[in-house]
Amino acid sequence: MKLQSYVGGRWVEGSGEGRAFIDPTTGAELGRVDATGVDGAAALAFARETGGPALAALSFAERGALLKAVADVLVANRDAYGEIARKNSGNTVRDAAIDIDGGIGTLKFYARLAQSLGDAKTIVEPGQDTLARGGNFAARHIWTTRPGAAMQINAFNFPSWGLWEKVATAIVAGVPCVAKPASATAWLSYQMVADVIAAKVLPEGALSIVCGVGKDLVGALTAFDSLAFTGSAATGEMLRSDPAVLAAAPRVNIEADSINATILGPDAAPGTAVFDLAVREVVNALSVKAGQLCTNIRRVLVPAEHAGAFADAVSAKVSSFAVGDPADESVRVGPLVDLEQRDIALKGIEALKQEADVVCGGGIPDGVVGADAKAGAFLAPTLLSCADPAGAKAVHEIEVFGPCATVMPYRSVEDAVALAARGGGSLALSVFSSDGAVAKAATVGVAPFHGRVMVVDDEVGRDHTGHPIVMPMCVHGGPGRAGGGEELGSLRGLRMHMQRTAVQGSPTLLSALADDAAEAAL
Give me the active site residues, please.
255, 294
Question: Shortest CA distance to 348 belongs to which of 430, 418, 259, 477?
Answer: 259
Residues 98-127 that bind its own copies (CB under 8 A): 122, 125-126
57 binds its own copies (CB under 8 A): no
In the bound state with its own copies, the residue whose beta carbon lies nearer, of 298 and 476, is 476
144 binds its own copies (CB under 8 A): yes
In the bound state with its own copies, the residue whose beta carbon lies nearer, of 196 and 417, is 417
80 binds its own copies (CB under 8 A): no
DSSP state of 381: -
The span from the CA of 220 to the CA of 214, in Å, is 11
20 binds its own copies (CB under 8 A): no
Q: Closest distance between its own copies and the C-beta of residue 474, in Å?
A: 3
Q: Closest distance between its own copies and the C-beta of residue 314, in Å?
A: 22
Tell me the pairing of strands 404-410 and 382-385. Answer: parallel
Residue in 277, 439, 494, 496 binding its own copies, rule: CB under 8 A = 439
In the bound state with its own copies, the residue whose beta carbon lies nearer, of 311 and 416, is 416
In the bound state with its own copies, the residue whose beta carbon lies nearer, of 364 and 460, is 460
Beta strands per DSSP E along 131-232: 138-145, 150-153, 177-180, 207-209, 226-231
Burial class (CB in 10 A: 0-12, 13-18, 19+), 15: exposed
Name every residue whose Cβ is closer than 8 Å to that of residue 489 and which is 6 or more positions away in sequence. 472, 473, 474, 475, 476
93 binds its own copies (CB under 8 A): no
Sign of CA dihedral 344, 239, 21, 156: positive
In the bound state with its own copies, the residue whose beta carbon lies nearer, of 301 and 455, is 455
Q: Closest distance between its own copies and the C-beta of residue 120, in Å?
A: 11
CA 91, distance to chain mean position in Å, is 17
Q: Closest distance between its own copies and the C-beta of residue 486, in Å?
A: 7
Q: Closest distance between its own copies and the C-beta of residue 396, in Å?
A: 14
Residues 194-233, mask of contacts with its own copies (x by CB under 8 A): -----------------------------xx---------
CA 482, 484, 487: angle at the middle one, nearest 5? 95
Q: Closest distance between its own copies and the C-beta of residue 280, in Å?
A: 15
325 binds its own copies (CB under 8 A): no
306 binds its own copies (CB under 8 A): no
Residue in 34, 95, 486, 487 binding its own copies, rule: CB under 8 A = 486
b/e 503-522 (16+ beta carbons within 10 angstroms → b): eebeeeebeeebeebbebeb
Q: Are the C-beta atoms of 189 and 5 separated by less than 8 Å?
A: no
In the bound state with its own copies, the residue whose beta carbon lies nearer, of 317 and 492, is 492
Q: Where are the alpha helices (DSSP H) in 320-381?
A: 339-353
142 binds its own copies (CB under 8 A): yes
Residue in 132, 320, 366, 391 binding its own copies, rule: CB under 8 A = 132
Question: Shortest CA distance to 184 belongs to which of 224, 213, 206?
Answer: 213
In the bound state with its own copies, the residue whose beta carbon lies nearer, of 331 and 456, is 456
Starting from the edge strand earliest in sequence, which strands make up the sheet with 150-153, in order?
Answer: 10-12, 5-7, 207-209, 177-180, 150-153, 226-231, 251-256
Q: Closest distance between its own copies and the C-beta of residue 376, in Å?
A: 35
Residues 241-280 that bind its own copies (CB under 8 A): 241, 246-247, 249, 251
505 binds its own copies (CB under 8 A): yes
Name every residue whose Cβ is closer than 8 Å to that of residue 83 and which is 6 or more positions away in sequence. none
Residues 154-173 that bind its own copies (CB under 8 A): none
Tell me the pairing of strands 129-130 and 138-145. Answer: antiparallel
147 binds its own copies (CB under 8 A): yes
Task: Select from 309-317, 335-343, 384-392, 440-448 the region that touches its own copies (CB under 8 A).
Answer: 440-448
Residues 442-471 that bind its own copies (CB under 8 A): 443-444, 447-457, 459-461, 463-465, 471
The span from the CA of 24 to the CA of 26, in Å, is 5
